[in-house]
């Protein structure tokens, strides 16, 4: 029996051939903002002038790390596959290793091809078409994965930069006395104070860091929907899967280029309307933004040209990067595909700072 996902793919391809676009979900009316926790209730007494309280010290001692479980690393449908890009716009293809040139392949930094087989310094990238690996680079899929949330009494965050923390809010970095975080490290946010235009967060005893170093997940959802749904913050560059108001899974993402209007991920409430487990993606033909990608895993389209999907070609999560889609690590995309997203799952894309 043909699956629903395959059926919908056939229908969508038919519409494309007929030069028609699928009906797009209409953004819902704005949802009334909810009160957003900026720290743990036990640290409510922390201010710029009061940097320590016994209650907050007890919270930090009892909960030094977010109560989460990391999602396993799993490349799923692309496990065992290799992908390459070329440092050249035009690449000659041969009929065999060291054979005759039979065609020219349009390549470039944003074109990744699947290696069908390799022989010495040659790779077959299309049936019967071989390319020299002299100017080729192999993709290295990110090993970062998101987390399953066991309990959440306060915000937590990922470091998106390597950085040293400060002894006081607004103070200079102090690697020796305060400490440091590496990119993708996780931390609790116990309290928040404002210094000038920026929020400074207490992330451990005598450890303060400014908001621009972090991607923050708040325990309070940015909206409220029934059953299972997904929130994508283009401000924080993260994604949270909710069941009602309960956050279940969270991870970093890369959404559309916020400096280019045409590539921004559209804000609004959408519904997943098309699935494709693995297949090519391409776009912006004839321009400097052209891209062509083989074997992109776990497409979950929610807004015609925009999809949640896995990427194997970059490790820039926590920063915008795409042409409108929501980029996830392959592991995280597989988790959503296997466990969360079904036809009609709501995807709420928002671009404001929570709270």
CATH number attached to the domain at 76-138: 2.30.30
Per-residue pLDDT, 288 = 55
Residue 304 gets the label, from left (phi > 0), alpha (psi -120 to 50) or beta, of left
pLDDT of residue 34: 53
24, 78, 19: which is closest to 279 by C-alpha? 78
pLDDT value at 33 more than 50: no
pLDDT at 65 over 80: yes
Q: DSSP alpha helices (H): ranges in the chain?
A: 4-17, 54-62, 330-339
SS3 149: strand
Tell me the pTM: 0.87
91, 105 contact by CB (below 8 A): yes
Q: What share of the chain is helix, strand, coil (3-state, %, to 5)?
A: 15, 40, 45
DSSP 223: S
Regarding the domain with residue range 4-30+221-350, which homologous superfamily does it belong to in the CATH classification? Answer: L,D-transpeptidase catalytic domain-like (2.40.440.10)
Q: Which of 148-152, 327-331, 349-353 has the lowest mean pLDDT?
A: 349-353
Contact 328, 310 (CB under 8 A): yes
Q: For the residues of 24-44, what is the DSSP string, one character each?
A: PPPPPPPPPPPP---S-GGGT
In the chain, the percentage of residues whose pLDDT exceeds 70 is 84
Q: What is the pLDDT of residues 252-308, one digit of tens each?
A: 999 986 666 666 788 899 999 999 999 998 765 455 555 688 999 999 999 888 999
Q: What is the pLDDT of residue 66?
A: 98
Helix (H, G, I), strand (E, B) or coil at 103: strand
- In the chain, domain spans: 4-30+221-350, 41-69+151-214, 76-138
């Amino acid at each position: 029996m043909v699956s629903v996902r395959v059926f919908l793919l056939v229908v969508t391809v038919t519409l494309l051939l007929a030069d028609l676009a699928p009906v797009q979900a209409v953004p819902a009316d704005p949802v009334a903002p909810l009160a957003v926790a900026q720290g743990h209730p036990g640290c409510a007494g922390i201010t710029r002038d009061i940097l320590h309280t016994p209650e907050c010290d007890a919270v930090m001692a009892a909960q030094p790390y977010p109560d989460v479980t990391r999602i396993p690393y799993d490349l799923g449908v692309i496990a065992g596959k290799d992908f390459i890009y070329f440092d050249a716009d035009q690449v000659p293809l041969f009929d065999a290793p060291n054979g005759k040139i039979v065609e020219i392949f349009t390549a470039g930094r944003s074109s990744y091809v699947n290696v069908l087989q390799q022989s010495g310094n040659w790779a077959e990238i299309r049936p019967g078409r071989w390319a020299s690996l002299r100017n080729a680079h192999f993709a290295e899929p990110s090993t970062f994965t998101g987390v399953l949330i066991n309990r959440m009494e306060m915000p937590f965050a990922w470091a998106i930069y390597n950085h040293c923390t400060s002894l006081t809010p607004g103070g200079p970095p102090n690697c020796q006395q305060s400490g440091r975080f590496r990119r993708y490290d996780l931390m609790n946010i116990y309290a928040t104070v404002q210094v000038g235009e920026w929020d400074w967060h207490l992330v451990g005893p005598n450890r303060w860091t400014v908001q621009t170093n972090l991607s923050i997940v708040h325990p309070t959802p940015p909206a409220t929907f029934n059953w299972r749904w997904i929130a994508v913050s283009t401000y924080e560059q993260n994604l949270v899967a909710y069941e009602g108001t309960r956050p279940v899974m969270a991870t970093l993402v890369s959404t559309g280029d916020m400096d280019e209007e045409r590539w921004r991920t559209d804000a609004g409430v959408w519904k997943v309307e098309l699935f494709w487990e693995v297949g090519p993606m391409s776009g912006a033909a004839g321009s400097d933004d052209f891209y062509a990608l083989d074997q992109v895993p776990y497409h979950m389209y929610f807004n015609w040209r925009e999809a949640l999907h896995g990427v194997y070609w970059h490790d820039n999560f926590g920063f915008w990067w795409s042409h409108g889609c929501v980029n996830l690590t392959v592991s995280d995309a597989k988790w959503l595909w296997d466990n969360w997203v079904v036809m009609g799952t709501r995807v709420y894309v928002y671009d404001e700072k929570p709270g």
